[in-house]
Structure 1
């Protein structure tokens, strides 16, 4: 069970840190606070402060996954989640639901075309079924 909780904590930490840079963060933040707080205002406030500090680090990282601060931040949240899950294994389902919900959310896309002159349509798509015609 500890290996399963460790894997879940790692997945949860990665998800939480990645979502700090996205528009969905406000909603996810409240879910993380509820997970850690479990109705205790003092726990909620300390986690809120840690989440706010972490979001500043994520925002200043420029979205680089290899930024050592993000690696350390993810490790920190993995440890926090693992301790929480070891103390209250019943919260595993709530964390699984948070991760599942987060991975179902569409992300933002930013495209840049450089080094060539484009003289026609440019398309980025996940799945295209059927014909695609222009003009």
Structure 2
């Protein structure tokens, strides 16, 4: 396999794993499954993607670097095989890597958050999924004593 396609498979696997542990996954999963299946066994590819995602989330996403690298390795090998069998996949992978999504999934969207309207005296959190957090905030300056 030529070096460019091997690099593309490596980048594709890293992007795929990054998407799996992101909030964007639900938007792009079906398109990626169709892209990787190339019209064959879409359900099986979708199940394989779901298994990898579940394993990554159970391993606490990007915190277990060895496990993430292992999952990337599995998908890298799979992408290399697909690129050899289906050279047209290269263009779809390049589109995904450039943030333009897959042909079936549409473009990936960026999210920009802004906080306006005054002074914030504590943490401001904007997220798709949060679990297990507890905040113990100091009293803002000038706030009446609650005691």
Q: Give the TM-score taking structure 2 as reference length.
A: 0.65
Moved over 6 A (4+): 107-110
Higher relative contact order (CA 8 A, sep 6+): 1
Q: Residue 120 of structure 2 corresponds to which residue in structure 1?
A: none
CA RMSD of aligned residues (A): 3.0
Q: Residue 99 of structure 1 corresponds to which residue in structure 2?
A: 97
* Structure 1: unaligned runs, 5 residues or longer: 111-116, 120-135
Alpha-carbon offset, residue 37 of structure 1: 1.9
Any conservation in 1 of the 2:12–2:93 contact (CA below 8 Å)? yes
Judging by fraction of residues, say which structure has more helix: 1
Corresponding position: 1:22 with 2:45: no
2:24, 2:42 → 1: CA distance?
19
* Structure 2: unaligned runs, 5 residues or longer: 102-107, 114-125, 128-137, 141-147
Q: Give the TM-score taking structure 1 as reference length.
A: 0.70
1:72, 1:91 → 2: CA distance?
23
Corresponding position: 1:78 with 2:76: yes
Larger-gyration structure (1/2): 2
Q: Among 45, 49, 65, which residue is 1:51 paired with?
A: 49
1:70, 1:92 → 2: CA distance?
23
2:63, 2:84 → 1: CA distance?
28
SS of the residue corresponding to residue 89 of structure 1 reads coil
1:14, 1:107 → 2: CA distance?
23
- Count of aligned positions: 115
Any conservation in 2 of the 1:85–1:91 contact (CA below 8 Å)? yes
